[in-house]
Structure 1
Amino acid sequence: MTDAIKIDVWSDIACPWCFIGKRNLENGLAATADDDDAPVVEIEYHSFELSPDTPVDFVGGEVDYLSQHKGISPAQAREMLDRVTGVAAEAGLAYRFDILQHTNTVKAHELLHFAKEKGRQLELSERLMSAYFLEGKHVGRDDDLVDLAAEVGLDADEARGALASTRFRDAVRADQAQAQAYGITGVPFFVIDGKYGVSGAQPVEAFTQIARQVWSERRAEAAESAPA
């Protein structure tokens, strides 16, 4: 039996292109489901903080943040947000930058590592991004994060303890160190089977194609190594 294709994804909860890339990846893989020999895929998310200096309770909206931290005018910021909102809509995501609460994401990343330990990382990644981009919920404070963790079936007390202890902070830093070693400077970034790097929120078809290609390579390698 051929082992699953491993897809490692570096992303940030507060990265609008990361949610788009996540959805395109999922839809791209779904398009292979009816193949006669459908690829088997395992996905793991890794931490990447785009703005580690952001306060937990940022005062202002997303336009204010972009203007203050990216050195662009409010008009340019609105234009950027309109563009990404349009791309998100094409992926089936209704972004709400008007209610988004900009925040520091290190604790969200710690919680994702806790969720990975409990087998709920994929569910929590989806819940955090949805809460942030679609619902205007705060994803930087312990109470809010614990509530979101509970919604995907994680124990609230255990989640709160994981955040209070900061015991997953080293795992977050290790992910970031690995990203640096790979030369990753922006997210989303996808590492396919440890040998192919894919940068940015690629279209659905690109993910479908690479999944089929890598699966085919895997099958060929397995056939070559099989005993006669």
Structure 2
Amino acid sequence: MTDAIKIDVWSDIACPWCYIGKRNLENGLAAAAADDDAPQVEVEYHSFELSPDTPVDFEGGEADYLATHKGISAAQAEQMLRRVTGVAADAGLTYRFDLLQHTNTVKAHELLHFAKAHGMQLPLAERLMSAYFTEGRHVGQDDELVALAAEVGLDADAARRALEEHEYLDDVRADEEQARAYGINGVPFFVIDGKYGVSGAQPADAFAQIVRQVWAEHADATAGEAVA
């Protein structure tokens, strides 16, 4: 049997390009899944904080944040938001920067590790990004995070305890250390089979092509082992 392709994704739930990259990856995998010899793929998300110094309750909108932290004008910030909103729409996502509540994401990352331990990381990653970018939910607050965890079927009491006791903070830090070891300084970043690095929110077609290529490599390796 051919081994599944492993895709490790470093991302931040508050990164607009990460949600676009997530959706493009999913669409690319769906296209490849229609092949006669469909690639088998396992996806795992890893923590990366774009702005670890951001307060939980940031005062101002997303344009204010960009202007303050990127050293650009308000007009430039608005232009950037319009551009990413358009790219998101092409990926099937409706960004609502007018509702978005910018916040610190470390606890969201802790919750993702909690979800991973219970086999629910992928549903929670989707729920957190949707809540943040399309619904204006405050994903820096424990109550909101616990509610979102419960929405995907996780135990609310256990999720709250994990957040209050920082049960998974070491796992967040380990992910970030691995990112530094790989030289990752921006997200999304995709590591395929531990040997191919793909940076940025690539188009769905590109992801489909990559997994088909790597799946063919897996098949060749399996055939070689059988001959040996």
The bucket for the TM-score relative to the shorter chain is over 0.9
Which secondary structure state, in structure 2, belongs to the residue aligned with residue 32 of structure 1? helix
Q: Which amino acid aligns with 1:125?
A: A
Does residue 114 of structure 1 match 2:114? Answer: yes
Deviations 1:49-93 (A, max 9, x none): 000000000011001101111100000000000000000000000
**Matched residues in 1 for 2:42 and 2:85: separation?**
29
**Same amino acid, percent of matched pairs:** 77
Residue 52 of structure 1 corresponds to which residue in structure 2?
Answer: 52
Q: Which amino acid aligns with 1:26?
A: E
**Matched residues in 2 for 1:184 and 1:68: separation?**
24
Structure 1: give runs of 5+ residues left out of the alignment. none
Which secondary structure state, in structure 2, belongs to the residue aligned with residue 13 of structure 1? coil
Which secondary structure state, in structure 2, belongs to the residue aligned with residue 69 of structure 1? helix
Residue 204 of structure 1 corresponds to which residue in structure 2?
Answer: 204
Describe how 1:57-206 pairs up with structure 2 within 5 A: 57-206=57-206
1:185, distance to aligned residue in structure 2 (A): 0.5
**Matched residues in 2 for 1:8 and 1:194: separation?**
8
1:227, distance to aligned residue in structure 2 (A): 4.4
1:33, distance to aligned residue in structure 2 (A): 1.5
Q: Which amino acid aligns with 2:138?
A: H
Deviations 1:16-39 (A, max 9, x none): 000000000000000012211000
Residue 221 of structure 1 corresponds to which residue in structure 2?
Answer: 221
Which secondary structure state, in structure 2, belongs to the residue aligned with residue 37 of structure 1? coil
Aligned pairs, number = 228
Deviations 1:105-145 (A, max 9, x none): 00000000000000000000000000000001010010000
TM-score normalized by the length of structure 1 = 0.99
**Matched residues in 2 for 1:70 and 1:58: separation?**
15
Which secondary structure state, in structure 1, belongs to the residue aligned with residue 33 of structure 2? coil
**Matched residues in 2 for 1:65 and 1:147: separation?**
26
Which secondary structure state, in structure 2, belongs to the residue aligned with residue 186 of structure 1? coil
